[in-house]
Amino acid sequence: MYDAVTHFESLYESVHGEFSFEGESQEQWVAWREAFRPRLKQALGLDNIAADLAGYEPHAEHGAVEDMGDHIRESWHLWVEPTVPLPFYLLRPKGAGGPLPLVLTPHGHNRPHVYVGIARNDHERASIQAGERDIAVQAVREGYLAIAPTTRAFGETRTPRDKAEDAVHSCRTQLMHDLLLGRTPIGDRVWDTSRLIDWALATQGADPQRIAITGNSGGGTVSLFAAACETRISVAVPSSYFCTFTGSIGAMHHCDCNYVPGILRLGEMYDVAGLVAPRAFCAISGKDDPIFPIDHARFAFERLQKIYAAAGVPDRCEHYIGHEGHRYYKAGSWPFIRKHFEAKGRRMEESANERKGEQAIGR
């Protein structure tokens, strides 16, 4: 008798990821990282996107500006491709001076406006309150410049049919077309994240040394993969996503946008997360999350700790476990981000003082 679960589990067990980390020394970690990241980008389709858009310069269009009391909320579109005007919100704290740390807050499988605290019905209002999903508002109230992008295939970037039917997303359609072109939805979203960072650094005075990304569920997916590929991100805090591929998206129903062809032949999710090292990484999990099971998340974190130990920075890797299920836990994110932003600031100051000392000796 054929049993699908048995069959697919046996396939997972038979495949050993080419970049499954097995080293112990810093030298082994560096060699692994330098070999793995280009292959991950290739698997996501980022090489194809870059080739298709060679010479293209994104441009932004400014929309509404709203005074929210303690911060300013602006609506923008960034043309990340000639045919893709990606909507996003920019939240800026009032009265802040100097280069501000930047926090990107990609959303999950919900309406994009939820992350900036906009509730258009009772369900959204309850979701924001119970799941702490106004993440961009939380970021700006921490004193950070916050960008809340519309994830590709959501909001204005849905298909006309899905807009007419008021479907939350067009992820399956996005995946089907991407596969024909050697792209993936995750790759599209990582590309968009990088273009938003470009824009914020070039036009908004964001601090290039202090950039964080954090989002829940699908936003956690973007947070993890973007930080693995985009080295300008200094702190990554994916929520309700970090787990194992085989124990989560390979074990139960998930949205089509989660799948990257051949990813297990490269490595597991903890290997992808390991590419964030030596930068700071905090995985947030809910102990009762039914779709990213906590036992698999704990196992994945144990494996990730070995990568951070080999990189020589075991203190930059943490796992926060919330007391409920599949939701955001702000208690696990902002203290971690603040700690590592402050540590980054101290290291920058010490480096600047060292350079001044060297210059004084030279004179």
Across the range 93-103, mean pLDDT stands at 90
Q: How confident is the model at residue 360 (pLDDT cuts 50, 70, 90)?
A: low
Contact 327, 286 (CB under 8 A): yes
- How much of the chain, in percent, has pLDDT values that exceed 90? 93
Average the pLDDT over each of 116-130, 138-152, 227-241 and give the range with the smallest value.
116-130
Q: How confident is the model at residue 359 (pLDDT cuts 50, 70, 90)?
A: low
Mean pLDDT across the chain: 95
* Residues 110-117: contacts with CB under 8 Å, at least 24 apart: 110/168, 111/154, 111/155, 111/168, 112/87, 112/148, 112/149, 112/150, 112/151, 112/154, 112/155, 113/89, 115/89, 115/148, 115/215, 115/219, 116/73, 116/89, 116/91, 116/148
Q: How confident is the model at residue 47 (pLDDT cuts 50, 70, 90)?
A: very high
pLDDT score of 244 more than 90: yes
Two structure tokens written together for 199: 């824009």
Give Cα separations from 24 to 257, 303, 314, 337 (angstroms): 34, 12, 13, 27
The pLDDT, as a whole number, for residue 110 is 93
pLDDT score of 282 more than 70: yes
Place of tokens 């441009």: 59
Two structure tokens written together for 152: 């590709």
pLDDT score of 362 more than 70: no
CATH, domain 24-362, list 3.40.50.2000, 3.40.50.1820, 3.40.50.2300, 3.30.70.260: 3.40.50.1820
pLDDT score of 25 more than 90: yes
User: Cβ neighbours of residue 110 under 8 Å, at least 6 residues apart?
Assistant: 124, 127, 133, 168
The pLDDT, as a whole number, for residue 350 is 66
- Rounded to a whole number of angstroms, the distance between the first and last alpha carbons of the chain is 82
Residue type, 30: V
Helix 185-203 with 218-229: angle, nearest 10 deg: 70
The pLDDT, as a whole number, for residue 346 is 79
Q: How confident is the model at residue 18 (pLDDT cuts 50, 70, 90)?
A: very high
Residues facing residue 238 across a β-bridge = 215
The pLDDT, as a whole number, for residue 356 is 66
Q: Which DSSP string do the residues of 293-340 spell out, in sequence order?
A: -HHHHHHHHHHHHHHHHHTT-GGGEEEEEESSSSS--HHHHHHHHHHH
Across the range 131-139, mean pLDDT stands at 96
User: Cβ neighbours of residue 183 under 8 Å, at least 6 residues apart?
Assistant: 44, 45, 48, 49
Contact 244, 273 (CB under 8 A): no
Express each pLDDT in 101-112 by its tens digit. Answer: 999 999 999 999
The pLDDT, as a whole number, for residue 347 is 74
pLDDT score of 161 more than 80: yes
